[in-house]
Structure 1
Amino acid sequence: MSVKIGENIDLGNFPLLLAPMEDVSDPPFRYVCKKNGVDMMYTEFISSEGLIRDAAKSRQKLDIFEYERPIGIQIFGSEIDHMRQAAEISAQAGPDLIDINYGCPVKNVACRGAGASLLQDIDKMVKMTKAVVDATDLPVTVKTRLGWDDSTKNVYEVAERLQDIGIKALSIHGRTRAQMYKGEADWSMIRDVKRNPRIQIPIFGNGDIDSVEKAAAWRQEYEVDGIMIGRAAIGYPWIFREVKHFFETGERLEGPTIAERVDVCRTHLTKSIEWKGPKTGIFEMRRHYANYFKGIPNFKEYRMQLVSLQSVEEINEVLADIEHNFISEVI
């Protein structure tokens, strides 16, 4: 049975979603993930305060492209009225949905009353969500965590109350805010939310999916409507095509060749420069090289070159060198 968000977003029978990640899931990264089969994506999370103040960085994050659809714009904030305004501004950019971040655990978000902080005040979370739902005709979805800490795991209440005021899907990261990204994600509570007979909206599981086998096993074990993959896709967008292939055939797809790694890395770089300009595009790409070539022997020397070069021509020469020198390596 097809998974639907609202009336119009049909994601097929078991969608793979790209988690919104700050400083990662920008349009260049989303492009290479889309090429590898991801079913739905989100922007990096965008500050409601930044949107209202018309901050250039926040506005730029609203950039979305037709080939990315369906795509959601994710917003976060601590003031209810500002979140309402941010939803109106975001809707004008033409996304397929608006997503609210109630999951970000980092200090400068959660300690300012936004992100996962709202897990400490469910009444405020409900009011904020209702303000966003009322501000737009687009479907509104939410991403959150199990709770603030081990003594306040309140995702059951969150799921019911947010569904009651009109959200159309819920993504749950299987950790509390206190856990940050440490320890193992606990998906058993995500399964319990899904099994709740009151819950009718799609429930997506997030946290620790880093292999084809885990995706397949957890699909069965935890009964979610789809899975959201984040960190495992950084430098490895092929995870989406590999998981899909495994679901369809039961067989593991061969990993990318060195030539493919170089090709996708080069595409990512090109898109980065197109979107941000040469200086920023080259600089921001530096965080991705080590991930694209993880496992290549003696890669450190190449990495040192890639993160120091200023021109795209020189970077492409190093990438061509990598392809030439490691073409026979299996990693």
Structure 2
Amino acid sequence: MVRIDNIELPDFPLLLAPMEDVSDPPFRAVCKENGADLMYTEFISSEGLIRDAIKSRQKLDIFEYERPVGIQIFGGDEEAMALSAKIVDATNPELVDINFGCPVKKVVCKGAGAGVLKDIDLMVRLTAAVVRSTSKPVTVKTRLGWDEASINIETVAERLQDVGIKALTIHGRTRAQMYKGEADWRLIAKVKNNPRIQMPIFGNGDIDSPEKAVLYKKRYDVDGIMIGRAAIGYPWIFNEIKHFAATGTHLAPPTIQQRAAAIRKHLVKSVEWKNETVGILEMRRHYTNYLKGFPHIKEFRNQLVTLKTVAEIEEVLQQIVARYDGFVPERKIAGFAASQLEECAY
């Protein structure tokens, strides 16, 4: 069992990453149903919360079915972060998470997200301000450093633990790398194996298959894994990893019927959360990922992204199920040699 303060998680938990315009309540619902152990909201601007911005406030929405859940905030001003932590605290999530890892220019230019990696003293002050302002456990998600010349994650982990955070998630890239190149989990392992570190350390970056998840669990000894892009359109990855870790065998891949059912649930939750017009519009970004790997799917996909009612979408989904009944897209295992796959098995 892994504990984040008073939050109990299963042994080697799988976390859903906070992803802008992705990790909303409808998406979290299908991930929870398929094995995610702890989930985070999209990141929320501390300044937006204080200004009572509608978009920022709506991101605070959490539901009982998705617990445990953390609300993630970002910002570069101590007072704003402290005030936003108090606002978050009132919505009663299980924990408050701070984003010190987002590499996007519009965030970094405001001195927030990964931009804070250039000023570790500021990072510590911002974190301490949040810890003082909430009754909830505080966690942090960050990167290895700003660039190759300023990798400082071991120092960061110690100093953030000293001011009271209860867990740390590390993305194994620098800000300069963005999402390019390979994540360096060796540095994540160094933090985990530092005798001064007593809190859980979660690894993030490049986990896209059960094989890789189990291999990295054994090789780097982290307390759990956070999964982001690999879950978009494929929430089944959480249960697939758990099954492979327990048995060394694969779950059957999702059928077209199961994929259609996940799309329906995602769509219904989206409509319930917003309204039919907005819910349908926001769902359009997900169809390509849910239906990846199906030949000649473009015609159906083009229909899904133009339809304006749930009933019309349901009709097309029925056509897709009929057309691809029995077809299973080829399962790809990227970046593994045979010797590595053997190392994965228990």
Q: TM-score scaled to structure 1, two decimals?
A: 0.99
Of 132, 135, 139, 2:133 maps to 135
TM-fit CA distance, 1:116: 0.3
CA–CA distance in structure 2, aligned partners of residues 192 and 61 of structure 1: 34
Letter in structure 2 aligned against 1:18: L
Distance 1:329 1:99 in 2: 41
CA distance in 2, matches of 1:267, 1:138: 31
Can you list the C-alpha shifts for 1:284-328, whole angstroms capped at 9, x where unaligned?
100000100100010011111001111111111001100011002
Give me the whole-angstrom Cα distance separating, in 2, the residues matched to 1:260 and 1:5: 33
Does 2:272 match 1:274?
yes
2:172 aligned residue (171, 174, 182): 174
CA distance in 2, matches of 1:276, 1:152: 43
Q: Which residue of 1 aligns with 2:333?
A: none
Q: For 2:236 and 2:10, how far apart are their aligned partners in 1?
A: 19
1:155, distance to aligned residue in structure 2 (A): 0.6
- Mapped partners of 1:23, 1:112: distance in 2: 19
How many angstroms apart in 1 are the aligned matches of 2:95 and 2:276? 31
Q: CA deviation at 1:67?
A: 1.3
In structure 2, what is the Cα distance between the partners aligned to 1:274 and 1:113? 35
Q: Distance in 1 between matches of 2:246 and 2:26?
A: 28
**Aligned AA (2:2):** V
- Deviation, structure 1 residue 3: 0.7
Q: Distance in 2 between matches of 1:30 and 1:41?
A: 7
1:117 corresponds in structure 2 to 115
User: Structure 1 residue 329: deviation in Å?
Assistant: 1.0
* Match of residue 3 from structure 1: 2
State the one-letter code of the partner of 1:214: K
Q: Percent identity?
A: 67
Deviation sequence 1:70-119 (CA, Å, 0-9, x none): 11000001111000000000010110000000000000001110000111
1:13, CA displacement in angstroms? 1.0
Say which SS state the counterpart of residue 285 (structure 2) adopts.
Answer: coil
Name the structure 1 match of 2:301. Answer: 303
> Following TM superposition, by how much is the alpha carbon of 1:250 offset from its aligned partner in structure 2, in angstroms?
1.4
Q: Which runs of 5+ in 2 are unaligned?
A: 330-346
Matches within 5 A, 1:177-326: 177-326=175-324
Q: Which among 83, 86, 99 is matched to residue 85 of structure 1?
A: 83
- Report the alpha carbon displacement of residue 211 of structure 1 after superposing the two structures with TM: 0.3
Are the aligned partners of 2:233 and 2:287 in contact in 1 as well (CA < 8 Å)?
Answer: yes
**SS of structure 2 residue aligned to 1:288:** helix
Aligned letter for 1:210? D
> Post-superposition, which runs of at least 4 consecutive aligned residues in structure 1 deviate over 4 A?
none
Question: How well do the aligned residues superpose, as a CA RMSD in angstroms?
Answer: 0.5
How many angstroms apart in 2 are the aligned matches of 1:306 and 1:38? 27
Q: Distance in 2 between matches of 1:21 and 1:328?
A: 32
User: Match for residue 328 of structure 1?
Assistant: 326
> Over residues 177-220 of structure 1, what are the superposed CA-to-partner deviations in whole Å (9 max), with x where a residue is unaligned?
00001111110000000010000000000000000000000000
1:245 maps to amino acid: H
1:12 deviates by: 1.4
On the 8 A contact 2:253/2:328 being kept in 1, the answer is: no
Work out the CA distance in 2 between the residues paired with 1:328 and 1:193: 46
SS at match of 1:287: helix
**Residue identity opposite 1:272 in structure 2:** S
Q: C-alpha distance in 1, partners of 2:59/2:41?
A: 7
* TM-superposition CA deviations, 1:147-199 (whole Å, max 9, x none): 00000001111000000010000000000000001111110000000010000
Decide whether the 8 Å contact of 2:70 with 2:97 is kept in 1: yes
2:161 pairs, out of 157, 160, 163, with 163
2:42 equivalent in structure 1 = 44
**Equivalent position of 1:67 in the other structure:** 65
Aligned to 1:152: 150
Distance 1:49 1:280 in 2: 25
Q: How many residues align structurally?
A: 329
> Equivalents in 2 of 1:189, 1:286: separation in Å?
38
Deviation at 1:137, TM superposition (A): 1.3
Aligned amino acid, residue 314 of structure 2: N
Q: Report the Cα distance in structure 2 between the residues aligned to 1:146 and 1:228, rounded to whole angstroms.
A: 15
